Amino acid sequence: MNRAPVIAGLGITEMGKVYGRTAPEFAAEAVRLAAADAGIELHEVDGLLTNTGITGDVGLGLQRDLGLRHLRLLSEVQAYGSSAGAMVQYAAMAVMSGMADIVACVFADAPLKDKSAGGGAAYAAAGRRPTGWQGLTAASGIYSANTMYALAARRHMQTYGTTSEQLGHIAVAQRAWAARNPLAQLREPITVEDHQSSRWIAEPFHLLDCCLVSNGGVAVLVTSADRAAGLAQPAVHIRGWGQAHPGYVMGRDSEFGLVSGAALSGPTALKMAGITIADIDVAELYDCYTYTALISLEDYGFCAKGEGGPFVAGGVLGPEGSLAVNTGGGQLSSYYMWGMTPLSEAVIQARGQGGERQAPRNDMVLVSGNGGLLDHHSTLILSPHAR
């Protein structure tokens, strides 16, 4: 029996400012949609891996919500934005070993709350008040992901001369892809001038440097090539994978802000797949900020270290560019489902189901996930072709 791992199902719920539903409800719907997409009965799922977001309430209880019994694999996975890739890796190993036959991997979150007064939306961020030494940085305004990633981006700028305008080219290119994606939350074209005039969030980040906030859920089903052969969708073969957890100390001599985990997880995944970075046709990169996409491009080897700024400003990105990056619009313009944003688009591209945004070549698709403050990283190599 060919137990090579493949992705056989994809479920994406309604996404964005969707109110009145909990994260567990989104998660359950995403798994059901993935099963329907694959053409299987829900009870055929015998493995379940969950990843929860800001709201923190998607966990082992999802098994009961789905009515699944006698699972052979059940676990919560938490490496933040790298978790989607990690879940697929663990599911692949479970399938290869025979531990499970069909494993659902799911992420869901519902941090946006309806703000009836004024018709806007409120972001309900979970977390505790920092104490001790952490309180010192918080008191000076360095507290959120925005401010910490801003420090990382500023260090890259000071070291390599990267500019805000260069980061703007990433936002513009991804919005151009999003304009072709009916699932994207933001589809109106933007220019570098729009990027530069958008309000400051935490210097050097403008609003258009920062990802969306979304309610919703995404799930994928991992099974064996033999099991997928008779299912409804073309199999997406999981050809390689890797992880990296740098353990940066935010000190003067650390590489924080200059090197990401892609520098380690990327070569591991490429070696497993038996290819080089030159063989990649589509790159779906984690882009919580424009800077995150830029440093990932460098560390995967699409350009040399420190040359990411001129590289992205040179016209290589976007639908008319030579490199297909974040073809759905990424987290900047499509939707923010942590690592499931790049993974879901990668599955769509590998299947050849991208419609107007389908990349011209899709033989090898790279997927990146980034968690924490560049603390965790995952890489997948997907392909419509078996090894």
Q: What is the tens place of the pLDDT at every residue in 157-180? A: 999 999 999 999 999 999 999 999
Q: What is the mean pLDDT of residues 49-77?
A: 97
Name the residue with higher pLDDT: 129 or 147: 147
Distances (CA, A) of 358 to 172, 190, 230, 316, 346: 18, 21, 25, 16, 11
Q: Which residues are marked as active site? A: 286, 336
Residue 222 binned pLDDT confidence (cut-offs 50, 70, 90): very high
pLDDT of 252 reads: 73
pLDDT at 116: 60
The more confident residue out of 26 and 125 is: 26
**pLDDT bracket for residue 118 (50, 70, 90):** very low
What's residue 291's pLDDT? 98
User: Higher pLDDT residue, 177 or 2?
Assistant: 177
> In this model, does residue 125 exceed pLDDT 70?
no
- Identify the pLDDT of residue 133: 66
Peptide bond preceding 204 in cis form (omega within 30 of 0): yes
pLDDT mean over 110-127? 66
Bridge-based pairing state of the strands 205-206 and 236-244: unpaired
**Tokens found for residue 349:** 């591209």
Question: Please, are residues 177 and 359 in contact by the beta-carbon 8 Å criterion?
Answer: no
Helical ranges in the chain per DSSP H: 23-38, 62-66, 83-97, 133-139, 145-160, 164-178, 192-197, 225-228, 262-273, 290-300, 308-312, 330-333, 340-351
Looking at every residue in the chain, the average pLDDT score rounds to 94
Residue 327's pLDDT is 98
Of 99, 122, 119, the closest CA to residue 49 belongs to: 99
CA-wise closest residue to 59 among 102, 11, 118, 108: 108
Mean pLDDT across the stretch 370-386?
97
Please write the tens of the pLDDT for every residue from 318-354: 999 999 999 999 999 999 999 999 999 999 999 999 9
pLDDT band at 120 (very low <50, low <70, confident <90, very high): low
Mean pLDDT of 57-66: 97
Residue 121 is predicted with a pLDDT of 62
Looking at residue 119, its pLDDT comes to 46
Sorting pLDDT into bands at 50, 70 and 90, what band is 105? very high
Given this model, what pLDDT does residue 134 score? 67
What is the band of 117 on the pLDDT scale with cuts at 50, 70, 90? very low
Residues 184 and 12 sit within 8 Å (Cβ to Cβ): no
| Percentage above 70 pLDDT, the chain | 95
